[in-house]
Chain A
């Protein structure tokens, strides 16, 4: 449960409680909470006077909305054509394997990583591309991917100590 809806109320006000602005509202709300908590979606539905099932329908239609919390580090592997042709599916398998993600699972149990296979990021010249927390890495081989992930894991381990 979310304890404070003030940021949501402010966002709703900014969009003048206009139900046609549902998508930008959800985008801004997700920026605040990093996902769309259920009670927040219900609150938005009440305030916009639309059904919560509709809000849920929109939130689950678009790939960028998350209805479950995401991990601390977001790993994006581009699966656009250029990256695919240059082996991004190998890269995805390696990352999944490294993070021990099962079929259909995209966030690690320890909530440290979320893997997203994204469509073209437009950095085709650098294919295959992997993005860790908004830093773009180009021409990533499976070995380099493991190296990059290990660096983050190491850093996290130090953080815990």
Chain B
């Protein structure tokens, strides 16, 4: 047996257990050094210099880049290191606008945390780059360069994980900034798909989901001429609690329902209802394509950033996208049609969606989702945005009694709830398909492989002599690879679920910030727990069945098509092809 290897950190012996770098080992030893550019999901970058430590014989090194070796002696709090850490922090604070009281990221900002931890009360250096220019041109995200510390996390996640490169470093030295191509506003970017993963890894308030709609929501609530309906996505219920100090991943749907009523919403619904509806339409569409053998593999279309991706970067796969709308975009028209059926006017019902996502904000603004100038979804608020509303209203969230969602759009099955985790949509669709093809053995298939915390998963379901080959992929770079393999004829699938955020909606940009896989897993577990308490498959949602009887007629029929399906078009932007002779 090999001898155990140790590193001595501030006199404490810490065993090396496969850590990639010294910083991880230091954190394992419970020295929680705050850093900005080190992110466990991204390549080490070595730029913020806050993880500097003293290693005997090596001098001062950046611990994020040094592989741990047996016998190393490490100081993390020597006088020298404390001095350097403070100066580097002061340098960051001197550059840009870091007025915490006027920043939405306050309390959740790493720069602020470190300044507090080090009790910085004075900055020795002159203030620079104070000009704050907010780029709020994208409905999904807001950028503020004056808060940017150039850690590059956003650039790396956009490149390494999403494979897009919508933003990159531009210019040089002190003039460096994170820029889109040609330094355009984000709203003019031909590449950004609004996934918001950049905001998820931003340590400061430089990149955040656009929260401008919150004000409009409050106004609508306070407008006596309007009725306001709200629905919350599955991932929201397992994300919100931690903002109020509740355990991560705890399902707080009951408290949310109560809080939403206290905020003054007229109707409080569950997006999971519409998720069941999505399954009925999408899985039916799949079974038809599967029988005919056309436009396979079918891709799910409920992730708006993925839809943006296909339109911008892989339009040749548009025929493969399911035409079924996302749950959010099914809920809107259904609520408005129902409102009209009951004698209301479409524009008098304001539909608010609470989503774990930034791309949902841009999805709601798509032209296809407007009827005579009135949107199917009026406003989209993120999980974090909802927390802000709850706080502003002074609601004591933690001590609220659980309440139920309103009927009929509060009914749901477990299949609808698990939409929030990567693999959940596919599992829900297969639950539906298996029951349709083999009604006697509806619960016979186990979906363990689809629930693993992995970015690529496969599941082949065999029903008699029918074999359905499915895959689940999350993260757009992984999706790109799959598309390339399909094009090259290397992979063959019938049905593929794609989520642009690794781990699915629980890891969306609208959720409380986190890093690493544990939070994803814990949040997903919260959803799978609720699943066990609900009906198994979407067919069993009585509210949905009733809705078909009342308004939608039959699955995949003309009314359903009008309200529940959409179309896509290529948005690939190319220049110059006509300019080459």
Docked complex Cα distance between A38 and B180 (Å): 13
Question: Is A57 an interface residue, CB under 8 A from the partner?
Answer: yes
Q: Given A42-B575, A52-B182, are A6 and B191 neighbors across the interface (CB < 8 Å)?
A: no
Docked-complex contact A9 and B181, CB < 8 angstroms: no
Q: Find chain B residues with CB under 8 A from A6 CB.
A: 579-581
Indicate if B172 sits at the interface (CB-CB under 8 A): yes
Question: A75 in the interface, Cβ–Cβ < 8 Å?
Answer: no
| Residue numbers in A under 8 Å from B575 (CB-CB) | 39, 42-43, 46
Total count of chain B residues near the partner, CB < 8 A: 23
Q: Is B576 an interface residue (CB 8 A)?
A: yes
Cα of A42 to Cα of B181 in the assembled complex, Å: 8
Q: How many A-B residue pairs have CB under 8 A?
A: 73
A-side contacts of B579, CB under 8 Å: 2-6, 43
Does A78 sit within 8 A of B, measured CB to CB? no
B161-169, B269-277, B366-374 - interface stretch:
B161-169
Residue from A9, A38, A41, A50 within 8 A of B580 (CB atoms): A9
Q: Mark B176-211, 1 if CB is under 8 A from A, else 0.
A: 000111110000001100000000000000000000
Quick check: A57 and B169 within 8 Å, CB to CB? yes
Flag whether A35 is at the interface (Cβ < 8 A).
no
**Inter-subunit contact A52/B181 (CB<8 Å):** yes
**In the complex, what distance in Å separates the CA atom of A74 from the CA atom of B414?**
70
Q: Is A60 an interface residue (CB 8 A)?
A: yes
On whether the beta carbons of A52 and B191 are closer than 8 Å, the reply is: yes
Q: Is A61 an interface residue (CB 8 A)?
A: yes
CB < 8 Å neighbour of A41 from B167, B172, B182: B182
Chain A, Cβ-Cβ closest to B573? A42
User: Smallest CB–CB gap between B154 and chain A, Å?
Assistant: 11
Give A131 Cβ to nearest chain B Cβ, in Å: 23
Which of B167, B574, B576, B581 has the most chain A CB atoms closer than 10 A to its own CB? Answer: B576
Contacts of B167 in A (CB 8 A): 53
Query: With an 8 A cutoff between CB atoms, is B262 at the interface?
Result: no
For window 3-57 of chain A, which residues contact chain B by CB distance below 8 Å? 3-6, 8-9, 38-43, 45-46, 50-57
B83 to chain A minimum Cβ distance, whole angstroms, is: 32
Taking A51-B164, A51-B168, A61-B172 as contacts, is the C-beta distance between A56 and B580 under 8 angstroms?
A: no
Q: Which of B172, B181, B190, B576 contacts A56 (CB 8 A)?
A: B181
In the complex, which residues of chain B have a beta carbon less than 8 angstroms from the beta carbon of A38?
182
- A55 to B168, alpha carbons, bound, how many Å? 9
The verdict on B118 contacting chain A, using a C-beta distance below 8 Å, is no
Q: Do A53 and B580 form a contact, CB below 8 Å, given A46-B574, A60-B170? A: no
Residues of B with C-beta under 8 A to A5: 576, 579-580
B581 adjacent to A4 (CB under 8 Å): yes
Overall SS of chain A's interface: helix
What is the CA–CA distance of A45 and B182 in the complex, to the nearest angstrom?
12
In angstroms, Cα B575 to Cα A40, docked, is 8
Bound CA–CA A3/B103 (angstroms): 46
- Decide if B576 touches A51 in the complex (CB within 8 Å): no
Smallest beta-carbon distance B313→chain A, Å: 10
Asked if A54 contacts B168 (CB within 8 A), the reply is yes
Pick the contact of A51 from B165, B171, B581 — CB < 8 Å? B165
Contact indicator per residue, chain B 545-581, by CB within 8 Å of chain A (1) or not (0): 0000000000000000000000000000011100111
Interface residues of A in 80-133 (CB under 8 A from B): none
Instruction: Decide yes or no: A56 and B581 within 8 Å by CB, A38-B182, A39-B575 being known contacts.
Output: no
CB of A56 within 8 A of CB of B170, answer: yes
Q: Is the CB of A53 within 8 A of B181?
A: yes
Question: Which chain B positions have C-beta within 8 A of A52?
Answer: 181-182, 190-191
| Contact of A53 with B576 in the complex, beta carbons under 8 Å | no
Nearest Cβ distance between residue A33 and chain B, in whole angstroms? 13
**B171:A53 contact, CB within 8 angstroms:** no
Q: In the complex, are the beta carbons of B180 and A53 less than 8 A apart?
A: yes
User: How far is B182's CA from A56's CA once the two chains are assembled, in angstroms?
Assistant: 6
- Tell me the smallest distance from the CB of B321 to a CB of chain A, in Å: 23
What is the CB-to-nearest-CB distance from A62 to chain B, in angstroms, rounded to a whole number?
8
Q: State whether A53 and B581 are in contact (beta carbons under 8 Å apart), knowing that A5-B576, A42-B575 are contacts in the complex.
A: no
Closest chain-A Cβ to B151's Cβ sits at a distance in Å of 16
Q: Is the pair B171, A60 in contact by a Cβ cutoff of 8 Å?
A: yes
Chain B residues with CB under 8 Å of A60's CB are 170-172, 179
Q: B172 to chain A: which residues have CB within 8 Å?
A: 60-61
Task: Specify which chain A residues have a CB less than 8 angstroms from the CB of B165 in the assembled complex.
Answer: 50-51, 53-54
- Cβ of A22 to closest chain B Cβ, rounded Å: 13
Whole-angstrom distance between the alpha carbons of A30 and B576 in the complex? 17
Min C-beta distance of A94 to chain B, whole Å: 26
User: Known contacts being A5-B580, A9-B580, A51-B164, is A56 close to B191, with CB within 8 Å?
Assistant: no
Nearest Cβ on chain B to A7's Cβ, whole angstroms: 9
Separation in Å of the A130 CB from the closest CB of chain B? 25
Q: What is the minimal beta-carbon distance from B139 to any residue of chain A, in angstroms?
A: 20
Instruction: Report chain A residues within 8 Å CB of B159.
Output: 51
Known contacts A5-B580, A39-B575, A51 near B170 by CB under 8 Å: no
Looking at the assembled complex, report how far the CB atom of A15 sits from the nearest CB atom of chain B, in whole angstroms.
16
A108 to B171, CA, bound (A): 22
Shortest beta-carbon distance from A156 to chain B in Å: 32
Question: Given the interface contacts A2-B579, A5-B579, does A56 sit within 8 Å of B166 by beta carbon?
Answer: no
A42 to B166, CA, bound (A): 13
Q: A54–B168 Cα gap in the complex (Å)?
A: 6
Bound form: Cα–Cα A147–B339 in Å: 81
CA distance A43 to B580 in the complex (A): 11
- Cα A53 to Cα B186 in complex, Å, equals 12
- Per the bound structure, the CA–CA distance linking A9 and B580 in Å amounts to 7
With the chains together, A51 CA to B190 CA distance in Å? 10
In the complex, besides A38-B182, A60-B179, 5 extra interface pairs with C-beta distance below 8 angstroms are A4-B581, A5-B580, A40-B576, A42-B182, A56-B181
- Can you spell out 13 A-B residue pairs with CB atoms less than 8 angstroms apart? A3-B579, A6-B579, A41-B182, A42-B576, A43-B579, A53-B191, A54-B165, A55-B181, A56-B168, A57-B179, A60-B170, A60-B172, A61-B169
Which residues of B are interface residues toward A (Cβ below 8 A)?
A: 159, 164-172, 179-183, 190-191, 574-576, 579-581
In the A-B complex, the 4 residue pairs with the smallest Cβ-Cβ separation, listed nearest first, are A51-B165, A52-B181, A43-B576, A53-B168
Could you list which residues of chain A lie within 8 angstroms of chain B, going by C-beta atoms? Answer: 2-6, 8-9, 38-43, 45-46, 50-57, 60-61
